[in-house]
Amino acid sequence: MGKKPLNQQQVKILRTMLEGKRLHTLLLNIGIDTMLRASDLLVLRTKDLMHESGEPKTELKIKQKKTGKHTLLMPLSENSRDAIRKYLIDTNADDYIFIGQLSHLSRKPITVKQYGRIVKGWMKMLGVEDIDQYASHSIRKIKPTIIFNQTRNIDAVRRLLGQSSVTATSSYIGVTDNSALELARNINV
């Protein structure tokens, strides 16, 4: 099944805990909204999220490295737009967004490995015992898992994640035979 997604309550608590931390707030909010793989998320630049006028974009479309395909036009939540307004106001259009404290000279984004350590740190902050169940993919899985649980529309989730098969998507977000059987038990015809 892979790494576990955070639930809505954990996200809400984490947003409060991360208030004022630029890198972390942007990673969490933009990671949730875009549902991008870490390799695509970490190379986002200011121009990907902001118009030339300085206003945050409300949607974005990104070419994915792994597939070479573009994402759907992904909406950015008010949480993401607030973080963009707050933390990207004085950045250059070509600047990477996710610059770590030690990257101030190189201006390169943090690595996927660093992002994974950040997520594990968040889980420690939340008091999660088995932090090894979480990684950068946990952030990518949050929104699609919630969408699936509310709608049961696996094809819509597949499209949002940019995956090629429903089977891969089902496996990715952890749809099991038991959860499918539970649906069958709850529907009476």
Cβ(62)–Cβ(48) under 8 Å?
A: yes
Strands 74-75 and 59-60: antiparallel
Cβ(175)–Cβ(141) under 8 Å?
A: no
Report all structural domains of the chain as residue ranges with CATH numbers, in order of start: 1-189 (1.10.443.10)
| pLDDT tens sequence across 150-174 | 998 999 999 999 998 988 898 888 8
Contacts with 156 (C-beta within 8 Å, 6 or more apart), sequence order: 147
With cut-offs at 50, 70 and 90, classify the pLDDT of residue 103.
Answer: low
Burial class of 95 by CB neighbour count within 10 A (0 to 12, 13 to 18, 19+): middle
| pLDDT tens sequence across 64-95 | 998 888 999 999 999 999 999 999 988 999 99
Token readout for 60 is 């974005």
Contacts with 8 (C-beta within 8 Å, 6 or more apart), sequence order: 146
Mean per-residue pLDDT for 34-43?
Answer: 97
Q: What is the pLDDT of residue 107?
A: 81
Among 152, 143, 159, 147, smallest CA distance to 179 is for 152
Q: What is the pLDDT of residue 60?
A: 94
Contacts with 95 (C-beta within 8 Å, 6 or more apart), sequence order: 45, 46, 107
Angle (nearest 5°) at CA 40 between 31 and 125: 35
Token readout for 102 is 């030690």
Among 152, 144, 149, smallest CA distance to 172 is for 144
Q: State CA 116 to chain mean position distance.
A: 12
Cβ(138)–Cβ(3) under 8 Å?
A: yes
Token readout for 13 is 């608590």
Distance CA 113, CA 115 (A): 5
